[in-house]
Amino acid sequence: MTKPALKKADPKIAQLESSLARALADYANLERRFSEQSTSVIKFATASLLTKLLDIRDHLAMASVELKDKSIAMILTSLDKLLVDEEITEVKTDGLYDPHSMECQEMGEGEKDHVIKVVRPGYRLHDRVLRTARVIVGSGSSAPAPQQVSPAKETTSSSPRGSV
């Protein structure tokens, strides 16, 4: 090649090299994104089934408390182990109310914006909230001082919850 032809080809070669480098970078990014998305799909494919199992777990827990049946307790233990194996963790509800992982069912007397009571536990699958926790949140008002109950006025209910 002659020198004038080589000078004309240099910018074209540089442009083609630059285009090739961009195309290779785009392809590498596409491969990385596809890999991340595939991993995410596999990781959360069972989310729908696990959400349904959480409702069943709640019902079994209520039955276990009421009936005090060893078979239900064993089933509940097995189900809890399965949830742990699937990396399901309970949403932390101690301390401040978090609107991303909790659902405020009502406001109650207590420290402002602090969880007073958990109505239904929430769960996470890996780092994603699978089901929000239903909680009662403090409104900032203080509870009235508890009244003294004289022994003669106490109820004699045998129910663990007191009189209903």
Give the mean pLDDT of 55-67.
Answer: 93
Range of the structural domain that residue 84 is part of: 47-138
- pLDDT in the model for residue 11: 83
How many structural domains is the chain composed of?
A: 2
**pTM, to two decimals:** 0.62
H or E element in which residue 143 lies: none
Give the mean pLDDT of 8-32.
Answer: 90
- pLDDT in the model for residue 27: 94
- pLDDT in the model for residue 8: 66
Where does the pLDDT of residue 5 fall: very low under 50, low under 70, confident under 90, or very high at 90 and above? low
- pLDDT in the model for residue 3: 59
Determine, yes or no, domain membership for 116: yes
Residues 33 and 87 in one domain: no
- pLDDT in the model for residue 45: 84
Residues 133 and 92 in one domain: yes
Domain CATH for 103: 2.30.22.10
Whole-angstrom distance, CA of residue 148 vs CA of residue 19: 84
In degrees rounded to 5, what are phi and psi of residue 140? 100, -10
